[in-house]
Amino acid sequence: MLDVEASARRRRARASDYGCQFRAVDSPIHRLGAGSKLAIGTSLSAAAVLAHEPWSLGAVLALNGAYYFGARLTLSDLWRDTRYLLVQMGIVVLLHGARFGVPEGLWPGLRIALQIALFFVPGVVFLRTTQASQMMRGLRKVLPYRLSFLVFTSFRFVPLFARELRQIAMAQRLRGARLGARDLLDPRSWRDAFHCLMIPLLVRALKAADEAALSAEGRGFGVRPERTYFDALLAANVPPGEARDEAVRPAPIRRGGPGASRASEPAVARGGVAGEE
């Protein structure tokens, strides 16, 4: 029972079951501005492309490791963020081995695979450590804030559509659609992937986009030419393990109307707003 509770606690504390999602912890990387992170990321990605020798590639790997773990990301996060890159690495090494033989093809294969992975890692750190408002603030000089919001919010919907995709695939396979892993190797089954999987997913995506647009407009998005930016991470730092859902027990009810001031009431949340701009 204790194990179950501990596991549930660990799960609640974790950022997300999906890769590349923002992780709300405080770290030197989190505190960097979006522009600085973009500059560091671009430099590291460029270094990954230019590194050809084992020593230089090793150095870029070490820098990426320091950058990643300096953001207080965990091994579990690393697994979620890079598992698909590992598949890519396996395939590239395998193809090089098949083309140039073993061991001649191994090093070039490993080098290219590592370069590709290291090219993407700084982007992963950027997504893991940058809040939507930070990103929009960082990009407002080069992009209209509506556009930067659109780009960043699309990442928030990745988990939603991953779940949708799994559900659709399960139901369509039971209707006879050829969507198994082996089926996808057969070009004759690709029509099913588009027809039975992508069309419903696209319809769901359009519907979700429609709902999201209405909701954003309902919350004043785009109504004014500018907006303010609030740094939620600096404003209060409540450890996730201490969060509690108070709707499960009665709580005192405040009087005085929706606009009434509550300045005299004790703050329930830990932390303060000292770090606000």
Partner 1 sequence: MLRVSSLSYTYPGEAGPALSDVSLEVRAGECLCITGHSGCGKTTLLLALKGLLHEGTLTGEAAIDAPPEELDSDGVGLVFQNAETQIFCSTVAEEVAFGPENLCVPPGGIGERVRRALEDVRLTGFWNRNVERLSAGQKHRLAIASVLAMRPRVLLLDEPTSQLDGIGKAQLVTVLKALKEQGYGLVVVEHDLEPFRGLVDRWVVMEEGRIRAVSDRFPAEYATEAPGSSTPPALRPSTLPPLGGGHAQDELSPVIALGDVRLSYPGVGEVLRGVELSVSRGERIHLHGRNGAGKSSLLACVAGAVGCDSGSIRVAGIEVTGRTSLFGKVGYLLQNPQRQLFESTVEEEVAFSLRRLRLPAPEVHRRVEEALDTCEAAKLADRLPLSLSFGEQHRVALASVIAPRPEVLLLDEPFSGLDLRQRRRLLAILGSLRERQATTVVIASHDPLPRRGWPDRVLTMEDGTLA
In the window 41-80, what residues touch partner 1 (CB under 8 A)?
A: 76
Q: Which is nearer to partner 1, 45 or 129 (CB)?
A: 129
My answer on whether omega of the bond before 103 falls inside 30° of 0, hence cis, is yes
Contact between 132 and partner 1 (CB under 8 A)? yes
Output DSSP code: residue 195.
I
Q: Which is nearer to partner 1, 43 or 154 (CB)?
A: 154
State the distance between the two ends of the chain, measured CA to CA, in whole angstroms.
44
Contact between 207 and partner 1 (CB under 8 A)? yes
The answer to whether the CB of 21 falls within 8 A of the CB of 15 is: yes
- Minimum CB separation of residue 26 from partner 1 in Å reads 9
Of 65, 71, 30, 64, nearest in space to 45 by CA = 64
Contact between 211 and partner 1 (CB under 8 A)? yes
The answer to whether the CB of 72 falls within 8 A of the CB of 27 is: yes
- Minimum CB separation of residue 49 from partner 1 in Å reads 29
Applying the rule CB under 8 A, the residues between 144 and 173 that interact with partner 1 are 149, 153, 156, 159-160, 164, 167-168, 170-173
Q: Which is nearer to partner 1, 87 or 273 (CB)?
A: 273
- What does the alpha-carbon distance between residue 32 and residue 26 come to, in Å, rounded to a whole number? 11
**In what helix (H) or strand (E) does residue 128 lie, and over which residues does it extend?**
helix 106-129
Contact between 33 and partner 1 (CB under 8 A)? no
Contact between 143 and partner 1 (CB under 8 A)? no
